[in-house]
Amino acid sequence: MRDLHAVKKPLLNPADCFLVIIDMQERLVPAMAGKEKLIENVLKLVKFARIFGLPIILTEQQKLGTTIPEISVELIDIEPISKLEFNCFASPLFVDQIRGQRRHTLIIAGIEAHICVAQTALYALASHTVHVVSDAIASRSPHNREIALERMRQQGVIITSTEMVIYELLEKAGTDQFREVLALVK
């Protein structure tokens, strides 16, 4: 029988994860294809992270306004990282926050899928396990989103969904956290 500790575990580990929300901003979100579902799922992830105690990192691309109110109201205590770079790892402030987490699994949501999300996810593969939440990312063009998902998957990014993330991290039903989270997914 194999040593279970020697095998890489395919499921999310709550103690090793943090949520990265990329550029969900006032001047960018309205141009996204499927923006209503995008906002709904990013909001579910943020609320879940709060209930579950997952660290959250929030970025804002300079000159595109602030994070949309639906999300910023849930993250009032988090200072967004202002950046010019598309790849979040090119921002020293982002890298400092990542290092401070001492966690190795990024759960990424936000926009645009084929620009900031893809560049950040692909770069992170050298040092982290990366999960991109497919129903919590968007681009202006659905085609660009699909190409981004395909490229990230080919390079080793784990493509997941909002509910997959939530239920993997919960691990079981019947807990107080499960009951609190149930309202998010109904």
Crossing angle of helices 176-185 and 162-170, rounded to 10°: 170
What is the chain's pLDDT, residue by residue, as a tens digit (186 residues)?
344 444 456 789 999 999 999 999 999 999 999 999 999 999 999 999 999 899 999 999 999 999 999 999 999 999 999 999 999 999 999 999 999 888 999 999 999 999 999 999 999 999 999 999 999 999 999 999 999 999 999 999 999 999 999 999 998 888 888 888 888 887
25 φψ region: left (φ > 0), alpha (ψ -120 to 50), beta (else): beta
Residue with tokens 């969904």: 161
Supply the pTM of this predicted model. Answer: 0.93
In the chain, the domains with their CATH numbers are 14-185 (3.40.50.850)
